[in-house]
C-alpha cells in the first residue's frame, strides 16, 4: 500500500491541479412544491464530481465547510462544470448550470468569480473561487472534499487504471470520492425508519414553463440531465419477516374481477417517449399551432379558425423537426427543430360554445392566449407548440382524404392529454360533457401539479403556480375502465359513436399507467371513507406500484378495512404512508396486520 501511494505521487507530480471552493449562490429559483429550494452544488472536472452539503430552504445559500475540491487536469479536462441542484426527497431538480473554461488560468493565484447560471428562467448566480497548481493534490484527497468523510482505497484503481502499471501509461482524471454521473446525484430514496415520512415537495417533479416562439437561428440548449439513481427494487429488500415478494411475481391471477378490465396489446412507452407524438405530427393527422401566431390572432381580436382555414405560417410543419426528441437541462423530453430549437407542448381542453363552432365570439382564443402568457415563457432557445382540437384536427365538412386523416388522429387523442411531457390547460370546464370528462381523467394519471391547470371563463385571476396547485388538490379518484364506462353513459356526446371511442381510449390509457406506475401520491386530498373504498377497488390494478401515500386525509375504519383488503393483492407495494387519518386503533391494527401478513417490512408502514 505504501509503495502504491508513493507511485501515485510520482505519476501525478507533473500534472496540473485545480482547486475549487464553492462559496455561495444567490437568488435561486424555487423548485420545491412547498417552501424554498434545498440547494447544493455539484462540481465536475472530467470524470470526477464532488458536491457540497445540501442547505435546506434557502435561495441564497453559503458554504464554509466541505466546499473545497481538488482535480487533476489535462488537455481533455479543460472545463469546470458547476450544477446547482434542488435536493428533493425522491427527485432532484436542476436550478442552473455553468461551464467555466480553464485554458489560460494563471498558476498559483486564487481567482474569485460570481457568474449567472444558465437555465430557462434566466435566474440565479453562483460564487466560487479556483486556483491552478502545478503539483499533486494527494494531500487534499484525505480530507472531506465531498459531502461526508473521504476514504481512499489505493489497492483498487482510483485513477482509471492499475496504480501498479507503467508510469508512462495514460491515466484518466482522478475519480476517488466522485458522485456517479450516470446516476447523477445521490438520492434519498430508501428512507430509514426514523425518517420514514416523505415530504410532499418530492411529489411530483416540476417542469418549467413554456417559452415563447422565436424563429431566429439558435444554439441547442444545455446538456441533458442524467437519469437519477433509482430506488432499489423491491426484490432486493430483506426484512425481519424474510425476503420481500419479488416485483416480477406473476400477478395476472390476482387481478380483481370487480374492475372488469381486460389486457390489451399496448406499448408501455406510449407516455414516456415522444416518438408517438412526433409520428402524429409527421403523418399529418394532427396540426400543432405556433404560440406566436395565436398571440397575434388575439391582438387582431379574431377567433379560433378550424384547421382547414389555417394559413401555413400558423403551423409547425413536420419537415422542421428532427427525427429524434431530446432532453433539456431539467431532463424534460421535447421535440427539437433541425436548427436546434427545443419545442415544448401544451394542449387545451375546452368547452364548445356552439355545436358548430367552439369559439364564435373569440372568447376561447382570448383565454388560450391569456393562459400561454401566464406560463411565463422566457427562453430564446425554446418555443411552444399548441394542440387544440378545433384547429389541430380536420373539421366538418371533410373531404375523403381529410376524413381519413381525422380517423387516424382519433387514435392518438389520448396522447395530447395523458402524456406527462405535454402540459394540459382545461378551459371553461363542464364535466357533464363526455370529451371534457375523458380529457380530465387521462390528464390526471401521469401529470404533476405544475403541468395541469383549470381556468374558468373569467380568465387567469391568480398566479399560474397557485392555479396549478389548486387544480392538483382537486384531482379525481382514478376509475377502473368498467366504472369509467358506466360514467360515460350518463354524459353528453354530440356524436353518440364517440362514447365507444372514449371508453376504448381510456381503457388503453389506464392499462398502460396501471402497469407502469411505481408511485401514487394522494396526500392532503380530504378523502373520507367513501373515497378510500372506491380507490381500494382500483388499487390492485396498479401492478408495479411500490409507494403509496395516503397520509393527511380523513379516512376512517371502513376505508382502512377496504385498503387492508387490497394490500395482499398489491404484490409490488413496499411502502405505505397512512398516517394522520381518522382511523381508530382497531382500524390501524387491521391495516398493520394485512401489511405484515403480506410479508412486507413493518418499518415501511407509517400509521
Q: Can you give the CATH number for the domain in which 96 is found? A: 2.60.40.150
Tell whether 160 is covered by a domain. Answer: no
Mean pLDDT of the chain: 76
- The pLDDT value recorded for residue 23 is 94
State the average pLDDT over residues 45-53: 87
Question: Are 499 and 566 contained in the same domain?
Answer: no
Of 465, 481, 503, which residue constitutes the final position of a domain? Answer: 503
Q: Which residues touch 173 (CB under 8 Å, ≥6 apart)? A: 45, 46, 47, 48, 71, 72, 73, 74, 76, 77, 159, 160
Number of domains in the chain: 3
Cell numbers standing for residue 169? 501509461
- The pLDDT value recorded for residue 378 is 45
Pairing of strands 79-87, 92-101: antiparallel
Confidence of residue 16 (pLDDT cuts 50, 70, 90): confident
Q: Give the separation between CA 304 and CA 306, rounded to whole angstroms.
A: 7
State the average pLDDT over residues 328-345: 81
Q: Reply yes or no on whether the pLDDT at 140 is more than 90.
A: no
Residue 32: helix, strand or coil by DSSP?
Answer: coil
Q: Which residues touch 331 (CB under 8 Å, ≥6 apart)? A: 94, 224, 225, 227
Confidence of residue 211 (pLDDT cuts 50, 70, 90): very low
Q: Reply yes or no on whether the pLDDT at 12 is more than 50.
A: no
SS3 track for 382-399? EEEEEEEHHHHCCCCCCC
User: Percent of the chain at pLDDT above 70?
Assistant: 72
Q: Give the separation between CA 562 and CA 577, rounded to whole angstroms.
A: 15
Q: Provide DSSP, 302-333.
A: --PPPGGG--GGGEE-GGGB-SS-EE-TT--E
Tell whether 171 is covered by a domain. Answer: no
State the average pLDDT over residues 187-212: 32
State the average pLDDT over residues 383-406: 95
Pairing of strands 92-101, 111-116: unpaired
Pairing of strands 39-45, 79-87: antiparallel
Most confident range (mean pLDDT) of 29-38, 109-118, 260-269, 370-379 is 109-118
Place of cell 455553468: 98
- The pLDDT value recorded for residue 73 is 80
- The pLDDT value recorded for residue 476 is 86
> Worst-scoring range by mean pLDDT, 81-85, 156-160, 212-216, 486-490?
156-160
Question: Are 490 and 395 contained in the same domain?
Answer: yes
- The pLDDT value recorded for residue 259 is 55
Question: Are 406 and 533 contained in the same domain?
Answer: no
Q: Reply yes or no on whether the pLDDT at 195 is more than 50.
A: no
CB 417 within 8 A of CB 347: yes
Place of cell 491515466: 171
State the average pLDDT over residues 154-171: 28
CA angle (15 as vertex; 13, 20 as ends), nearest 5: 110
Question: Are 494 and 524 contained in the same domain?
Answer: no
- The pLDDT value recorded for residue 216 is 36
Tell whether 555 is covered by a domain. Answer: yes
Tell whether 72 is covered by a domain. Answer: yes
Confidence of residue 72 (pLDDT cuts 50, 70, 90): confident
User: Percent of the chain at pLDDT above 90?
Assistant: 43
- The pLDDT value recorded for residue 473 is 83
Q: Reply yes or no on whether the pLDDT at 236 is more than 60.
A: no
Q: The domain containing residue 558 runs over which residues?
A: 517-606
What are residue 387's DSSP bridge partners? 347
- The pLDDT value recorded for residue 363 is 93
- The pLDDT value recorded for residue 393 is 96
Q: Reply yes or no on whether the pLDDT at 386 is more than 90.
A: yes
Tell whether 174 is covered by a domain. Answer: no
Q: Give the separation between CA 493 and CA 263, rounded to whole angstroms.
A: 27
CB 401 within 8 A of CB 468: no
Confidence of residue 241 (pLDDT cuts 50, 70, 90): very low
Cell numbers standing for residue 36? 424554498
Q: Reply yes or no on whether the pLDDT at 265 is more than 60.
A: no
Q: Which is nearest to 94 in space by CA: 175, 46, 29?
A: 29
Report the half-sphere exposure of 222 (CA within 13 A, side-chain side).
23
> Worst-scoring range by mean pLDDT, 87-101, 234-248, 256-270, 310-324?
234-248
Between these two residues, 474 and 91, which has the higher pLDDT value?
474
Q: Reply yes or no on whether the pLDDT at 80 is more than 80.
A: yes
- The pLDDT value recorded for residue 256 is 34
What are residue 426's DSSP bridge partners? 349, 454
Question: Are 449 and 398 contained in the same domain?
Answer: yes
Q: Give the separation between CA 285 and CA 279, rounded to whole angstroms.
A: 9
Q: Determine phi and psi for 93, rounding to 5 degrees.
A: -125, 135
Between these two residues, 91 and 74, which has the higher pLDDT value?
74
Q: Reply yes or no on whether the pLDDT at 210 is more than 60.
A: no
What are the start-end ranges of the E strands in 428-512? 452-455
Q: Which is nearest to 395 in space by CA: 409, 406, 384?
A: 406
Q: Determine phi and psi for 31, rounding to 5 degrees.
A: -115, -5
Question: Are 560 and 418 contained in the same domain?
Answer: no
The reply to whether the predicted model has a pTM over 0.75 is no
The alpha-helical segments, DSSP class H, found in 395-433 are 400-410, 415-418
- The pLDDT value recorded for residue 413 is 93
What are the start-end ranges of the E strands in 134-247? 238-239, 242-243
**Sheet arrangement for strand 79-87:** 48-51, 39-45, 79-87, 92-101
Neighbours of 356 (CB within 10 A): 10
State the average pLDDT over residues 503-507: 95
Cell numbers standing for residue 126? 453562483
Q: Reply yes or no on whether the pLDDT at 330 is more than 60.
A: yes
- The pLDDT value recorded for residue 118 is 82
Question: Are 464 and 382 contained in the same domain?
Answer: yes
Cis bond upstream, residue 204 (ω within 30): yes
Question: Are 426 and 367 contained in the same domain?
Answer: yes
pLDDT, one tens digit per residue, over 557-575 is 999 999 999 999 999 999 9
What are residue 100's DSSP bridge partners? 80
> Worst-scoring range by mean pLDDT, 9-23, 51-65, 388-402?
9-23
Question: Are 417 and 480 contained in the same domain?
Answer: yes
Question: Are 312 and 433 contained in the same domain?
Answer: yes
Pairing of strands 68-72, 288-290: unpaired
Neighbours of 545 (CB within 10 A): 20
Tell whether 482 is covered by a domain. Answer: yes
pLDDT, one tens digit per residue, over 403-462 is 999 999 999 999 999 999 899 999 988 889 999 999 999 999 888 777 899 999 999 988
Tell whether 226 is covered by a domain. Answer: no
- The pLDDT value recorded for residue 165 is 31
Tell whether 438 is covered by a domain. Answer: yes
Of 83, 112, 133, which residue constitutes the final position of a domain? Answer: 133
State the average pLDDT over residues 47-64: 89
Looking up residue 585, the CATH number of its domain turns out to be 3.80.10.10
- The pLDDT value recorded for residue 183 is 35
Question: Are 417 and 462 contained in the same domain?
Answer: yes
CB 182 within 8 A of CB 226: yes
Of 503, 525, 541, which residue constitutes the final position of a domain? Answer: 503
Question: Are 524 and 495 contained in the same domain?
Answer: no
Amino acid at each position: 500500500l505504501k509503495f502504491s501511494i508513493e507511485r501515485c505521487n510520482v505519476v501525478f507530480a507533473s500534472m496540473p491541479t485545480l482547486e475549487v471552493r464553492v462559496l455561495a449562490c444567490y437568488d435561486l429559483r424555487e423548485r420545491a412544491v412547498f417552501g424554498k429550494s434545498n440547494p447544493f452544488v455539484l462540481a465536475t472536472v472530467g470524470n470526477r464530481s464532488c458536491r457540497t452539503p445540501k442547505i435546506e430552504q434557502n435561495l441564497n445559500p453559503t458554504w464554509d465547510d466541505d466546499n473545497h475540491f481538488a482535480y487533476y487536469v489535462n488537455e481533455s479536462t479543460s472545463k469546470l462544470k458547476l450544477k446547482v441542484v434542488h435536493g428533493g426527497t425522491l427527485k432532484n431538480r436542476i436550478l442552473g448550470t455553468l461551464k467555466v473554461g480553464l485554458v489560460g488560468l494563471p498558476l498559483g493565484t486564487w481567482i474569485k468569480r460570481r457568474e449567472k447560471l444558465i437555465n430557462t428562467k434566466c435566474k440565479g448566480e453562483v460564487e466560487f473561487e479556483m486556483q491552478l497548481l502545478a503539483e499533486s493534490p494527494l494531500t487534499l484527497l484525505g480530507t472531506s472534499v465531498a459531502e461526508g468523510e473521504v476514504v481512499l482505497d489505493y489497492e483498487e484503481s482510483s485513477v482509471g487504471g492499475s496504480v501498479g502499471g507503467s508510469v508512462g501509461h495514460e491515466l484518466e482524471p482522478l475519480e476517488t470520492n466522485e458522485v456517479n454521473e450516470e446516476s447523477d446525484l445521490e438520492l434519498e430514496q430508501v428512507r430509514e425508519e426514523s425518517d420514514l415520512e416523505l415530504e410532499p415537495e418530492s411529489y411530483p417533479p416540476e417542469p418549467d414553463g413554456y417559452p415563447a416562439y422565436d424563429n431566429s437561428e439558435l444554439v441547442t440548449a444545455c446538456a441533458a440531465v442524467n437519469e437519477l439513481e433509482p430506488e432499489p427494487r423491491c426484490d432486493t429488500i430483506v426484512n425481519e419477516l424474510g425476503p420481500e415478494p419479488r416485483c416480477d411475481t406473476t400477478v395476472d391471477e390476482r387481478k380483481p374481477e370487480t374492475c372488469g378490465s381486460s389486457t390489451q396489446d399496448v406499448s408501455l412507452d406510449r407516455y414516456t417517449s415522444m416518438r408517438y407524438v412526433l409520428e402524429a405530427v409527421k403523418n399529418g393527422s394532427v396540426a400543432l399551432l405556433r404560440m406566436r401566431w395565436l398571440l397575434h390572432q388575439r391582438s387582431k381580436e379574431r377567433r379560433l379558425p378550424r384547421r382547414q382555414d389555417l394559413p401555413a405560417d400558423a403551423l409547425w410543419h413536420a419537415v422542421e423537426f428532427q427525427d429524434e426528441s431530446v432532453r433539456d437541462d431539467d431532463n424534460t423530453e421535447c421535440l427539437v427543430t433541425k436548427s436546434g430549437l427545443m419545442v415544448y407542448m401544451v394542449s387545451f381542453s375546452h368547452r364548445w360554445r356552439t355545436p358548430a363552432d367552439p369559439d364564435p365570439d373569440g372568447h376561447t382564443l382570448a383565454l388560450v392566449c391569456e393562459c400561454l402568457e401566464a406560463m411565463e415563457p422566457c427562453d430564446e432557445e425554446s418555443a411552444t407548440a399548441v394542440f387544440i382540437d378545433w384547429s389541430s384536427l380536420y373539421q366538418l365538412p371533410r373531404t375523403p382524404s381529410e376524413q381519413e386523416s381525422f380517423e387516424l388522429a382519433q387514435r392518438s387523442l389520448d396522447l395530447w392529454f395523458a402524456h406527462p411531457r405535454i402540459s394540459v390547460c382545461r378551459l371553461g370546464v363542464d364535466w357533464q360533457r363526455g370529451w371534457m370528462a375523458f380529457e380530465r381523467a387521462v390528464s390526471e394519471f401521469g401529470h404533476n401539479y405544475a403541468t395541469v391547470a383549470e381556468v374558468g371563463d373569467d380568465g387567469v385571476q391568480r398566479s399560474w403556480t397557485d392555479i396549478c396547485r389548486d387544480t392538483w388538490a382537486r384531482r379525481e379518484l382514478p376509475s377502473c375502465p368498467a366504472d369509467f364506462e358506466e360514467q360515460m353513459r350518463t354524459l353528453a356526446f354530440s356524436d353518440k359513436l364517440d362514447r365507444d371511442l372514449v371508453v376504448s381510449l381510456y381503457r388503453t390509457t389506464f392499462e398502460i399507467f396501471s402497469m407502469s406506475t411505481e408511485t401514487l401520491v394522494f396526500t392532503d386530498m380530504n378523502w373520507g371513507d367513501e373515497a378510500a373504498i372506491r380507490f381500494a377497488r382500483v388499487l390492485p390494478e396498479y401492478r408495479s406500484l411500490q409507494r403509496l401515500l395516503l397520509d393527511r386525509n380523513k379516512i376512517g375504519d371502513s376505508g382502512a378495512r377496504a385498503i387492508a383488503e387490497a394490500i395482499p393483492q398489491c404484490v409490488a407495494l413496499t411502502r405505505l404512508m397512512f398516517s394522520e387519518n381518522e382511523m381508530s386503533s382497531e382500524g390501524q391494527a387491521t391495516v398493520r396486520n394485512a401489511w405484515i401478513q403480506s410479508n412486507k417490512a413493518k418499518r415501511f408502514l407509517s400509521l
